A and B are shown apart, each in its own frame.
Chain A
C-alpha cells in the first residue's frame, strides 16, 4: 500500500527547475504532487506521477540522476486536528517521519499527504489498524 515517488538531483541555480519541467511538458507527463528540499548548492525534487516507470525513464534519458522510492500516501479528513492525530499515532509508535508534503486533489472532504518513513511496513500496519486510509499506486490514478 505505497506509491512510487521519483526523486531528482537538481542544481540550485536559476532556470534549472524550468529546464526540468520542460522535459515533462514535452513528454506530456503530469505531476500529481511535488516537493523540493534544498541546500545552497542543489535540491532534491520529489514528485508523484501517474506512470512512474515511464517518467523515471524519461528523466534518466534526459541525463538527470533520479531514484524511485516507495512512500505512503495518507488520506486525511479535511478538518482541524486530523493531521495531528495521524502524526501522534506515528510518533507514539516510534516511527520517524523523514519528510512529508501535501498532495492536492479535487476531492472535497479529504486531503492527502505523502509521508516518507524508514519502516514502511510498520507504518502501514499502525495506520491501517487505527482506521487511517492509505492509497495505492492504482488508486492514485482514480483520484481527481
Chain B
C-alpha cells in the first residue's frame, strides 16, 4: 500500500471504551497509530500541537464521543469546522447516544458517519471492519 498510514485520534473520556477500541484494533491486526484525547479540549491541543502535546500527523481520522467533560463532541466539531487548518478533518461520531437531536447536529457538522456503540459483547467488530475499509478506500484530504 502506497497510501500513508492513517493516524487515528480517539476522543473518548471513558478509559474502558478507549481500551476497547484499542483492543479491537489490535485484535484485527490494525496497527495504525492511535492518539487518545480525554475530551474536546485535549483533542484540540493534539490537533494543533499545543500545550506540549505532540501534533498528530496527516492523514488523520477522528473518532469522537459526544458526552464528555469540559468540551463535548459536538462542541469539538464546531471548533474544528471554524478552524481553517482543521476544517477538512474527517470525523466519525462514536457514541452511546441514540438521540435524534445529537445525530442531526453531528451531520450538520459534516461528520463522515454517526456510529452507535453497539450492545455489550459486540466489541465494535463491524465498526472496526468498516473503518479499516474506509481508510484503505477513501482518499484523504
- Decide whether A and B assemble into one complex: no
Q: Which residues of A contact B (CB under 8 A)?
A: none
Residue positions of B touching A, CB distance < 8 A: none
